[in-house]
């Protein structure tokens, strides 16, 4: 219960502001009004000149507040088949996804929540305000520039992303898959990086997709930065705290890409070696999700 309250307090803190920005006019937007960071991978080009099909690979923040209109859009306009929820069980319990008739729901927990809980319980207590708990989260070492490497290198993450690729491989033709975590930026960003890599996108496209979070969350980020400064935080300290909230930092994705190249030759090497996706299955994914 104590750990669940800690997670809830951080989630509430990160969702304190409402986000409206130029994201609605972005070509990657899937035009959901009630879901944050809602976009797709469709329209990106691969290094071989193929284009990812529109309307089949969707990425968002949590769906717990989705409106009936947006649910209809997902099921009717996007022919939604699978929701892959990458959150911890505590996050799911706090803000569960809606159950949708005809749509498969899978919870693929990327973070080793037992280790996560033990680390936090050593550092955190329920005394103090949300600002103090935010600082303790950062001081715990869980949030750092190595965070994505720490996420993706665990057996927990490998199992989750392995099952994620199984869902992609088994996705019926002309249907869509939506993947998300809480803010739709870190665990979701890693999933996006992996599928873009498998489909043959360049690192420039991967970085472009990653940084779109900062456009889709522009007003949210501006409000959070203003709030942190108003509570006495120095401008020079903002970077390490904003990655806990709703901003992404290119250093994190570049660092994990370098780590993947150093240890596996490429992200695709990680996908084949650690996730068990064969070269034949990668070609099948390309055939399914790419077009001329």
With 90 as the cut, is the pLDDT of residue 101 above it?
yes
- Residue 3 per-residue DSSP state: H
- The position carrying tokens 């990668």 is 282
Residue 130 pLDDT: 67
pLDDT at 15: 46
Question: What is the rounded distance in angstroms from the CA atom of residue 52 to the CA atom of residue 250?
Answer: 23
First to last CA, the chain: 52
Strand partners, 84: 106, 179
Handedness of CA 232, 19, 206, 286 (dihedral sign): positive
Region 268-285 average pLDDT: 98
Q: Take residue 159 and report the two structure tokens written for it.
A: 């199992």
Alpha carbons 80 and 57: distance in angstroms, whole number: 10
What's the pLDDT band for 16 if we cut at 50, 70, 90? very low
Give the pLDDT of residue 134.
Answer: 75
Q: Sorting pLDDT into bands at 50, 70 and 90, what band is 115?
A: confident
Rounded Cα distance between 181 and 186, Å, is 8
Measure the CA angle with vertex 151, ends 211 and 164; round to 5°: 80
Instruction: State the average pLDDT for the chain.
Output: 88
User: Which range (89-93, 139-143, 192-196, 285-289) has the least confidence?
Assistant: 139-143
pLDDT higher than threshold 80 for residue 143 = no
Please give the backbone phi and psi of residue 123, each rounded to the nearest 5 degrees, phi first: -105, -30
Task: At 117, list the tokens.
Answer: 């809980």
**Pairwise pLDDT comparison (138 vs 50), residue with the higher score:** 50
Give per-residue pLDDT as tens, 241-258.
898 899 999 999 999 999
In the chain, where does DSSP find H-type helix?
Answer: 2-14, 68-72, 89-94, 113-123, 130-139, 147-152, 155-170, 187-199, 203-216, 218-230, 238-242, 250-264, 267-273, 279-289
Q: Which is it for strands 176-180 and 104-107: parallel, antiparallel or unpaired?
A: unpaired
Instruction: Show Cβ contacts of residue 221 under 8 Å, excluding neighbours closer than 6 positions.
Output: 214, 242, 245, 246, 247
Predicted pLDDT at 23: 55
Instruction: Answer with the residue of higher pLDDT: 115 or 171.
Output: 171
Give how far Cα 125 sits from Cα of 118, 119, 139, 205, Å. 12, 12, 13, 41
**Residues 271 and 194: beta-carbon distance below 8 Å:** yes
Tell me the residue length of the chain: 292
19-32 average pLDDT score: 71
CA–chain centroid gap for 14, Å, is 15
Joined tokens for residue 247: 């901003």
Round to whole Å and give the CA distance between 54 and 45. 11
Q: For residue 71, what pLDDT is reported?
A: 97
Matching residue, tokens 């939506």: 178
- Cα separation, 154 vs 140, in Å, equals 18
Q: Which domains does the chain have, with CATH numbers?
A: 21-112+142-291 (3.90.190.10)
Per-residue pLDDT at 142: 73
For the entire predicted model, the pTM comes to 0.89
Residue 267 near residue 260, CB atoms below 8 Å: yes
Is 4 a residue whose pLDDT tops 50?
no
């Amino acid at each position: 219960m104590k750990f669940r309250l800690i997670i809830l307090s951080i989630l509430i803190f990160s969702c304190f502001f409402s986000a409206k920005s130029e994201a609605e006019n972005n070509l990657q937007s899937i035009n959901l009004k009630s879901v944050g960071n809602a976009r797709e991978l469709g329209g990106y080009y691969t290094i071989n000149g193929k284009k990812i099909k529109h309307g089949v690979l969707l990425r968002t923040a949590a769906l717990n507040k989705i409106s009936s209109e947006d649910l209809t859009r997902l099921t009717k306009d996007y022919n939604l088949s699978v929701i892959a929820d990458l959150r911890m069980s505590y996050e799911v319990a706090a803000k569960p996804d809606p159950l949708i008739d005809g749509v498969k729901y899978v919870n693929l927990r990327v973070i080793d929540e037992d280790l996560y809980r033990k680390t936090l319980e050593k550092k955190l207590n329920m005394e103090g305000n949300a600002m103090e708990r935010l600082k303790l989260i950062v001081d715990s070492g869980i949030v750092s520039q190595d965070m994505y490497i720490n996420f993706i290198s665990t057996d927990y993450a490998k199992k989750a992303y392995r099952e994620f690729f199984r869902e992609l491989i088994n996705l019926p033709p002309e249907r869509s898959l939506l993947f998300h975590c809480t803010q739709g930026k870190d665990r979701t960003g890693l999933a996006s990086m992996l599928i873009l890599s498998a489909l043959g996108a360049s690192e420039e496209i991967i970085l472009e997709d990653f940084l779109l979070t900062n456009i889709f969350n522009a007003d949210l980020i501006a409000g959070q930065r203003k709030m942190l400064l108003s509570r006495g935080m120095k401008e020079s300290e903002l970077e390490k705290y904003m990655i806990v909230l709703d901003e992404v930092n290119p250093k994190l994705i570049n660092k994990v890409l370098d780590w993947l190249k150093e240890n596996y030759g490429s992200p695709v090497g990680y996908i084949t070696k650690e996730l068990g996706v064969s070269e034949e299955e990668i070609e099948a994914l390309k055939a399914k999700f790419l077009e001329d």
